[in-house]
Amino acid sequence: MFKKMTDGEIGSNFIHELIDEDLRTGAFNHVQTRFPPEPNGYLHIGHVKAITINFTTARKYGGVCNLRLDDTNPVKEDDEYVNSIIEDIRWLGFEPNRILYGSDYFDICYESAVMLIKKGKAYVCDLSAEEIREYRGTLKEPGRESPYRSRSAEENLELFERMRAGEFENGQKTLRAKIDMSSGNLNMRDPIIYRIMKIPHARTGDKWCIYPMYDFNHPISDAAEGVTHSLCTLEFEDHRPLYDWVLREIEWPAPSRQIEFARLNLNYTLTSKRKCLALVQKGIVSGWDDPRMATLAGMRRRGYPARALRNFVETAGVSKTYSVVDFALLEHCVRDELNFTAPRAMAVLDPLKVTIENYPENKTEYFDVLINPEKPELGTRRMSFSKQLYIERADFMEEPVKGYFRLSPGAEVRLKSAYFITCKEAVKNGDGSVSELICTYDPETRGGDSKDKRKVKGTIHWVDLNNCKDAEVRLYDRLFIAENPSDETENGDFTKNLNPDSLRTVRGAKLESCLSESLPGDTFQFLRTGYFSKDSDSTSDKPVFNRVVSLKDSWEKVKKNA
Ligand code: ATP
Ligand code: MG
């Protein structure tokens, strides 16, 4: 299951087997898919799975995939969401063949409804929403037929026309499919296919005051658009009989085929637009693109590469069974990608000043260091070195515990790519805290190796105090402490599962000078501390870096224990 796929091609899976079968039997002679989000929020990691499946399946079979924004509900439409969806899909690396809307098919839906009425397969019902619910029955009890079920086709046509003309109020009448009130599938108990909503629509304006329900619009949009395989998540499995019923009854010549797959669930993560919206509205996060959010906008700002996300859903696999994927796998994919793409740099997050006693005053020398040891062909960057440096406060211990190989009085360590230094003295503040280390260096160890093959056990990172840049660094932890943060119980409040330490802001970090030229979105490996991406909050005076992910991979451990 965790085999790594080649990038961009989702491994063969049960969906492809079904499609192969359709092509073999001649049910279809080509393949077309669509990704159909509702523009009521930003896309999240779960959508990456649906997007990847739809686009790569079309590509595999030489077909196309459209983006179709499901705007059947006029209330929820929002331009901000539409734009973010388009941007996110492109950023992920996919280009929709066409950008369409569910509302593009309102005319066909209307004509189809009229056809159903004429065939005696749909009727106008006067029951209220509450009554319809009551009449529907339960899984154990059959439903009861509406008293309006036997209206004649003529009467229904006239009433439906008057619904359209705005003669009735919201909720006063609905159009229902006439299927089977005793069906074991509640979706087949005369579902509503049209409702009155006297609300103008973002795209169709006030042309309509009746709107098709999703379950009616969706199969018709698929078919009218030429979609052959309508790939969706498992919660739509119970809707498939209705999907098929609609296309059969409107006598569509080449009805699309719906195939369901399991949703992507990720532990410690919310994958629901509604709940993500709540996080934004309650001010728990700074916005949809807060780097702690599992939205594409958030993950992009955090510094997750698009390729890592695609690899992640490919590695997690496509199946029909419910599962929860470990967050560690996502981080593993991010590291895997950044290890090859992220230039290396040094940054000291919690600086402690070091003065090299025997290094000449006013001298600066330079070291040429590989930009990325995984890709030597990228060449080198230049680091400066002088008498004063910064190292990480945690790399010094006055009384070292057993197994501590970094700096302590009398101990020698390697400054990565530079020299060996030995600590002579810790200078202290009045309160006993260490303010500075006085060290010596061994000029014979230039480049980080001693000529007499003397070994040091510790290698630490550093920056030149006289040539570095102050920065703010934001360290993130998971947003939730509960494995399944989405509390679905009555009055469930997922905010009680929030991690109070999901963001730690470090001010006064010291960056290697090469980082001054970086742009928002540029991602680096800061030696020993993790991968960091320059945030859009950066100014030329004050760069801000987000920690994308730490260097330690817990995934290998998770896999071993599995
Ligand atoms: P949400 O509950 O977050 O609003 P949704 O299913 O309502 O999600 P849509 O915008 O309707 O979101 O989804 C567009 C497509 O993405 C649908 O085909 C849906 O099945 C799919 N999708 C949504 N969430 C996931 C997920 N977690 N894993 C895989 N596919 C998903
Ligand atoms: Mg939805």
Residue 273 bears catalytic tag:
yes
Asked whether residue 414 falls in the same domain as residue 483, the answer is no
Residue to mutate, 34, 47, 232, ligand 1, most ligand atoms under 8 Å from C-beta: 47
Bin 94: left if φ > 0, else alpha if -120 < ψ < 50, else beta: beta
Which of 11-20, 186-195, 367-376 bottoms out in mean pLDDT, i.e. has the lowest?
11-20
Q: Are residues 147 and 259 in the same domain?
A: yes
Which residue, by CA, sits nearest to atom 18 of ligand 1? 232
Displacement of CA 29 from its chain's centroid (Å): 34
Tell me which residue has its CA closest to atom 10 in ligand 1.
37
User: Please, which pLDDT band fits residue 161 given cuts at 50, 70 and 90?
Assistant: very high
70 plus 212 within the same structural domain? yes
Smallest CA-to-CA distance from 122 within 186, 170, 72, 194 is with 194
- For residue 60, the enclosing domain spans 14-263
Report if residue 173 sits inside a domain: yes
Residues with CB under 6 A from ligand 1: 36-38, 46-47, 49-50, 232-233, 263-264, 271-274
Domain presence at residue 2: no
pLDDT one-digit tens code per residue, 216-266: 999 999 999 999 999 999 999 999 999 999 999 999 999 999 999 999 999
Same domain flag for 258 and 277? no
Residue 461 lies in a domain: no
Last residue of a domain, one of 263, 286, 312: 263
Backbone dihedral region for residue 202 (phi beyond 0: left; psi -120 to 50: alpha; all else: beta): alpha
* Domain tally, the chain: 3
Query: Which band of pLDDT confidence, cut at 50, 70 and 90, is reported for residue 6?
Result: very low
Are 25 and 117 part of one and the same domain?
yes
Check residue 7 and give its pLDDT.
47
Give domain status of residue 5, yes or no: no
Residue 158 a catalytic site member: no
Query: 270 and 282 in contact (C-beta within 8 Å)?
Result: no
In a domain, 174, yes or no: yes
Given 236, 263, 290, the domain boundary residue is 263
496 has a pLDDT exceeding 90: no
- The pLDDT tens digits for 342-384 are 999 999 999 999 999 999 999 999 999 999 999 999 999 999 9
Q: Residue 1 falls within a domain, yes or no? A: no
Q: What's the CATH number where 401 sits?
A: 2.40.240.10
- Widest distance between CA atoms in the chain: 102
Order the strands of the 64-69 sheet from edge to edge.
32-35, 64-69, 99-101
Question: Is the same domain home to 258 and 311?
Answer: no
- CATH code: domain of residue 209: 3.40.50.620
Check whether residue 173 and residue 256 sit in a common domain.
yes
The predicted pLDDT at position 127 comes to: 98
Give this prediction's pTM.
0.93
Verify that 77 and 225 share a domain, yes or no: yes
Q: How far is the CA of 399 from the centre of ligand 2 (A)?
A: 58
Catalytic residue list contains 38: yes
Of 273, 335, 381, 414, the active-site residue reads 273
Ligand 1 atom 26 nearest Cα: 46
Distance CA 61, CA 317 (A): 19
Average pLDDT of the segment spanning 1-16: 62
Choosing from 387, 420, 455, the residue where a domain stops is 455
Q: Is the pLDDT of residue 490 over 60?
A: no
- Is 8 among the domain residues? no
Tell me: do 40 and 184 sit in the same domain: yes
- Counting from 1 in the atom list of ligand 1, the atom nearest the Cα of 49 is 29
One domain, residues 259 and 287? no
In a domain, 348, yes or no: no
